[in-house]
Structure 1
Amino acid sequence: MVAAVRDFRPGDEAAFRDINLAWIERFFLVEQKDRDVLDNPRKYILDPGGAILVAEDAGNTIGVVALIVIGDGSVELAKMCVLEAAQGKNAGKLLIAAAIEKARAMGMSRVYLETNSVLAPALKLYRDAGFVPLSAPQPSPYARADVQLELFL
């Protein structure tokens, strides 16, 4: 069972990067945009007003998710992943619920995300949380993004 979901704090940078690289490399190629964000989450996520949440189990970081401000009252739910060894402990469900609540607390009206159709468990998680397909897909900086979903708060 996941003990807690908390806000990102100094010292979490390596876990944020490493957990993300593990899942990206498992399914896809790491793209330059990934490297930019993962190497400098403060610059690309936190300083522009976004947030990163961390899931812990017994004091160990097992999952992360980011909320990137994209304007017009929207945030992008990004870089959400759970260590493979920790999957099945509801960390993903807790992270997405915490991210939605954080977006509300930030005053956002919409959460947007991009994913890939091969990630069936993630798609189910997002749909179960109320995300629906975009009516008009947008260009993505990621070659792997073939699904775009949104949730109005």
Structure 2
Amino acid sequence: MPTGVSIIDFEPAHRAAFEALNAELDYEWITRYFYIEGADRQPVDNPQQYIVERGGHILMAVCDDEIVGTCALVKEHDNVYELARLAVAPAAQRRGIGWALGQAMLGKARQLGARRVEVLTISTLLPALKLYDKLGFRAASLMPEQPGDVRMVLDL
């Protein structure tokens, strides 16, 4: 765990921070490659309803009483989850916060009984690909109509 950083569970009071971090994520790279439709924004606009209440989980990274990162675990089906919405504020990047969030979320996936965790991303996001590889994810073929051009899976 990076010095001075703690990983905490999402609470409804964190909604604005979750949305702000994901807005940076969306507008920094997603909108360069994809069109974001209304349905794609729903988990960001209402994470309690669209992630937590559907069997998923959200973690927040806190440093100096400020939320600097987030990561979601979205329940797909049966015991398969998607690691999604991993975002770290630009000023807090390169400090191991993404790694800490990923590790903590994989621990949560195990607690929830996940047998597989998937990640969808794009091949130009080399830092993200390196992080997912370091976390143990391996390349897998894309399923029809999945966004991005890279799918990675981790069997637990």
TM-score range, shorter chain: over 0.9
Go from structure 1 to structure 2 and tell me whether the alpha carbon gap of 1:31 and 1:132 turns closer, same or farther (over 3 Å shift).
same
CA distance in 2, matches of 1:140, 1:56: 35
| Matched residue, 2:13 | 11
| Matched residue, 1:55 | 61
Question: Does structure 2 conserve the Cα–Cα contact (< 8 Å) formed by 1:2 and 1:90?
Answer: no
Go from structure 1 to structure 2 and tell me whether the alpha carbon gap of 1:66 and 1:110 turns closer, same or farther (over 3 Å shift).
same
CA distance in 1, matches of 2:145, 2:121: 10
1:89 aligns with 2:87: no
CA distance in 2, matches of 1:62, 1:84: 9
Go from structure 1 to structure 2 and tell me whether the alpha carbon gap of 1:2 and 1:120 turns closer, same or farther (over 3 Å shift).
farther
**Could you say what the CA RMSD is over the residues aligned between the two structures, in angstroms?**
1.3
1:21 aligns with 2:23: yes
| Matched residue, 1:107 | 113
Q: How many pairs align?
A: 150
| Matched residue, 1:132 | 138
Go from structure 1 to structure 2 and tell me whether the alpha carbon gap of 1:126 and 1:61 turns closer, same or farther (over 3 Å shift).
same
* More moved, 67-76 vs 90-99: 67-76
Letter of the 2:143 counterpart: Q
Shift of 1:141: 5.0
Q: Which runs of 5+ in 1 are unaligned?
A: none
Task: Tell me the secondary structure at the aligned position of residue 113 of structure 1.
Answer: strand
CA distance in 2, matches of 1:91, 1:16: 15
Give CA deviations for 1:41-88 in whole Å, capped at 9, x if unaligned. Answer: 112101111000001111110000000111121110011110111001
1:147 aligns with 2:142: no
**Regions of 4+ moved over 4 Å:** none
* More moved, 35-44 vs 50-59: 35-44
Question: Does structure 2 conserve the Cα–Cα contact (< 8 Å) formed by 1:2 and 1:89?
Answer: no
CA distance in 2, matches of 1:64, 1:2: 16
Go from structure 1 to structure 2 and tell me whether the alpha carbon gap of 1:58 and 1:140 turns closer, same or farther (over 3 Å shift).
farther
Task: Tell me the secondary structure at the aligned position of residue 74 of structure 2.
Answer: strand
